[in-house]
Structure 1
Amino acid sequence: MIGIGVVGIGMVAGIHVRALQDLSDIAEVRGVYSRNPARLDEFCKKWNLPVAGSLEDLLGRDDIDVVLVLTPPNARREIVAAAAAAGKHILLEKPLERDSAAAQELVDIASAAGVTLGVVFQNRFREASLKLQSLIESGELGALSIAQVNVPWWRPQTYYDEPGRGTYERDGGGVMINQAIHTLDLLQVYTGPVSEVMALMGTSSIHKMEAEDFVSAGVRFESGALGSIVATTAAYPGGPETIELGFEKASAHLGAGVLTVSHHDGRTETFGEQTGTGGGADPMAFPHDWHTSNQRDFLEAVRDGRQPIVTGAEALKVHRLIDALTLSSREKRAVTLSEVGTDE
């Protein structure tokens, strides 16, 4: 049985706990820590979980093998460094950190300590997402020509009224690193690496916040395919994020947990089931099943001595894409991904 320590009890913590409850065959939560004692006691009573008196107590326990970190991005480095020094494997809620340089530092810390570092990108584990990946890898759809991403989400102003939310200091940005990051991560699973972007981003009149709530970009992929990205949290009432891909032999539309493949020979195939995605006023309006699959993959990787599907190094790809989009908008020019680092 793999012992789990949880650090942080923010908005997404309940989803993770439900997912871990489904994994009682392989893991057990043995301690939860938060810097807010009152909220921690309330949370642990609700979920019937043991309280850890301090981070040091949690990391000092021999029966804890994995630390699940659910804190805001700006609180990550100290926790990751301490966990790695204690020999604990680490699963981080996205994003890794606030930018790719800070994210790279976390990857390096874990690597130097010889511990496994994984990241929660649960959308990769949806049935329809996995099916599309399988079809692409089989070659059945042919070469990719175009890719279009649309994230038409909604967040009311009350969402951004929480101290630190939508700021560069705490979160590292707005819609890109907090919401669209899942879709941008999944995009590159299907398309391969991005080579160049040209972006416009900013804050609409809908929100009062420091970072962006809108981004639009043109994208060139290393394969030669072309694409576009539009993402916002100002699109009331909010809708499901979509990825549309045009291939040599078919087109694919992925959205709300459903994949539709339209073949050039006239056949149409549909896979998956429609679900909520958290694109509206309730950010938690989605099932926890994908988190369960993401966690299971990580825990089995730790048990079996292999790398998980989403490693820290793998997550650096989407961080570099976001950094390139940000730089392009700021400097009003096309930016190559080599300007913000490589995946080597």
Structure 2
Amino acid sequence: MLKIGIVGTGGIAGAHAEGYHRFAQECEVVALCDIVPGKAAGQRDRLGLPDARAYESIEELLAAEDLDLVSIATPPSTHAELAVTALRAGVDVLVEKPMAPSLQECDAMIAAAAEHGRVLSVVAQNRFRDDMATLKEVLDSGLAGPVSHVQVSSAWWRGTAYYDLWWRGTWESEGGGCTLNHAIHHLDLTLWMLGAPRAVTAVLTNAAHENAEVEDLSVAVLQYDRALAEVTSSVVHHGEEQAIVVQGRHASVAQPWKVVASAAQPNGFPAPGGDPERVERIEALAAARRPLDHVGHAGQIGDTLAAVRERRRPAVDGADGRRAVELVTAIYRAGIERRTVDLPLRPDDPYYRTGTLVERAPHFFEKTASVGDLPGAITVGGSNQEAAR
């Protein structure tokens, strides 16, 4: 029976607690930790963990408990320090997205995991969705042909009060705005399906949240060798209608699910009826795919538990988490400097290091409120989405 600790008992901790509960025959959450005095103890019943022991520092937690794995569900600016502390103590780590606000911090986490022979997994729960796994399988099959164009809409909506929470809305504590903390889900999916682009250009703005320094809207163009991907990152889109549309040479496939395959007349114009045979082959491949046993956080937690037991690489490791942060960093640099940024980013790039965004990013507005907690549940507008912090 693997012993689990959860560090950070805010809203997203519930997804971790529920995920571990799905594997109650394999693991037990024995401890909770939160730096706010009394919060970990006060959250035990909400998290369905009345018998979990409560601590107020990770050092106290690690000294008192013989843990196999910790979930880190704290603000982004704390991820690296907490993860490195746990890894150096010989405990495996599952850390919430984003992995960390800077590549320097990501590399410190990866180095600590390697040095101490520990498992490090970064939450990317949307890879564990049947719809996204289906899209990837179709793209990997080659039936759509080489990719030409991708439209990614990471559309979320948050009211102004969202940024009143103490750690949100500043470059220092949140690490960024919607590009880092919301669209990282879709950016990770883009990397998973298409690989890394060779260059990025972007624009950033704050369109609707006057109580936050950070961006609430960005539009980026990712340049591949023979393809372009447009990524809209937003917390200003009513209804949160998210989508990924991939145009291949032979067909278009999208989630929400849609398949279209055109065929040409001798003059190059579209033929009536398109290519129904190719559509049928893609639909058949999608229909034959076996559904995942567990989805979302539970799916990733199940894989991480197996990786801990088997001492293997998890499905989403530190390198995967780092790639997503690298792409976000390139988007920020491109938007701040108003230029095209080549990838990969080198360690001597100023945006590689911790603190550069704090120094160079624009303050679209100044943070005007700072509260310890906000009432209400974590909800999203679409029916097919996983909650984001």
Same fold flag (TM > 0.5): yes
Contact 1:174 1:213 in 2 (8 A): yes
* 1:92 and 2:95 matched: yes
For residues 100 and 136 of structure 1, the distance between their equivalents in structure 2, rounded to whole angstroms, comes to 29
What is the CA deviation profile of residues 160-214 of structure 1, one whole-angstrom value per residue up to 9, with x for unaligned ones? Answer: 1112202111111000111000001001111111111111101114442101011
Which amino acid counterpart does residue 322 of structure 2 have in structure 1?
Answer: L
* 1:260 and 2:258 matched: yes
Match of 2:302 in 1: 296
Match of 1:280 in 2: none
Match of 2:379 in 1: none
Give the Å deviation of 1:20. 1.2
Which amino acid counterpart does residue 314 of structure 2 have in structure 1?
Answer: P
Contact 2:180 2:328 in 1 (8 A): yes
* 1:127 and 2:130 matched: yes
SS at match of 2:74: coil
Give the Å deviation of 1:61. 5.0
For residues 324 and 81 of structure 1, the distance between their equivalents in structure 2, rounded to whole angstroms, comes to 25
Match of 1:239 in 2: 240
SS at match of 1:29: strand
TM-score normalised by length of structure 1: 0.88
Question: Percent sequence identity over matched residues?
Answer: 32
Contact 1:19 1:289 in 2 (8 A): no
Give the Å deviation of 1:24. 0.8
Give the Å deviation of 1:263. 3.5
Contact 2:169 2:211 in 1 (8 A): no
For residues 331 and 77 of structure 1, the distance between their equivalents in structure 2, rounded to whole angstroms, comes to 27
Match of 1:217 in 2: 220
Which amino acid counterpart does residue 193 of structure 1 have in structure 2?
Answer: A
What is the CA deviation profile of residues 210-267 of structure 1, one whole-angstrom value per residue up to 9, with x for unaligned ones? Answer: 010110122212x4211211121112x2323211101122111114xxx333344223
Match of 2:167 in 1: 164
For residues 209 and 91 of structure 2, the distance between their equivalents in structure 1, rounded to whole angstroms, comes to 43
Contact 1:183 1:241 in 2 (8 A): no
Structure 1 residues 63 and 181, CA gap change in structure 2 (3 angstroms): same
* 1:185 and 2:191 matched: no
Counterparts of 1:18-57 in structure 2, within 5 Å, are: 18-46=18-46, 47=48, 48-53=50-55, 54-57=57-60
For residues 253 and 169 of structure 2, the distance between their equivalents in structure 1, rounded to whole angstroms, comes to 32
For residues 152 and 129 of structure 1, the distance between their equivalents in structure 2, rounded to whole angstroms, comes to 16
Structure 1 residues 340 and 215, CA gap change in structure 2 (3 angstroms): farther
For residues 4 and 191 of structure 1, the distance between their equivalents in structure 2, rounded to whole angstroms, comes to 34
Which amino acid counterpart does residue 103 of structure 2 have in structure 1?
Answer: S
Match of 2:268 in 1: none
For residues 162 and 309 of structure 1, the distance between their equivalents in structure 2, rounded to whole angstroms, comes to 32
What is the CA deviation profile of residues 89-112 of structure 1, one whole-angstrom value per residue up to 9, with x for unaligned ones? Answer: 000010111122222221112222
Which protein is richer in strand relative to its size? 1
Counterparts of 1:122-161 in structure 2, within 5 Å, are: 122-161=125-164
Give the Å deviation of 1:141. 2.1
For residues 88 and 209 of structure 2, the distance between their equivalents in structure 1, rounded to whole angstroms, comes to 44
Which amino acid counterpart does residue 5 of structure 2 have in structure 1?
Answer: G
Match of 2:12 in 1: 12
Give the Å deviation of 1:137. 1.9
SS at match of 2:45: helix
Which amino acid counterpart does residue 42 of structure 1 have in structure 2?
Answer: G
**Structure 2 residue ranges without an equivalent (≥5):** 263-274, 288-293, 350-389
* 1:200 and 2:198 matched: no
Match of 1:320 in 2: 326
Counterparts of 1:99-114 in structure 2, within 5 Å, are: 99-114=102-117
**Structure 1 residue ranges without an equivalent (≥5):** 273-287
For residues 147 and 160 of structure 1, the distance between their equivalents in structure 2, rounded to whole angstroms, comes to 31
Contact 1:90 1:118 in 2 (8 A): yes
Which amino acid counterpart does residue 6 of structure 1 have in structure 2?
Answer: I
For residues 35 and 78 of structure 2, the distance between their equivalents in structure 1, rounded to whole angstroms, comes to 11
Mean alpha-carbon deviation: is it higher for 36-45 or for 87-96?
Answer: 36-45
Contact 1:64 1:88 in 2 (8 A): yes
For residues 120 and 64 of structure 2, the distance between their equivalents in structure 1, rounded to whole angstroms, comes to 19
Match of 2:229 in 1: 227
Contact 2:138 2:144 in 1 (8 A): yes
SS at match of 1:238: coil
Which amino acid counterpart does residue 234 of structure 1 have in structure 2?
Answer: V
For residues 246 and 164 of structure 2, the distance between their equivalents in structure 1, rounded to whole angstroms, comes to 36
Give the Å deviation of 1:52. 3.1
SS at match of 2:144: coil
For residues 230 and 57 of structure 1, the distance between their equivalents in structure 2, rounded to whole angstroms, comes to 42
For residues 295 and 206 of structure 1, the distance between their equivalents in structure 2, rounded to whole angstroms, comes to 34
Q: Whose Rg is larger?
A: 2
Give the Å deviation of 1:84. 1.2
Match of 2:337 in 1: 331
Contact 1:153 1:239 in 2 (8 A): yes
Give the Å deviation of 1:336. 0.6
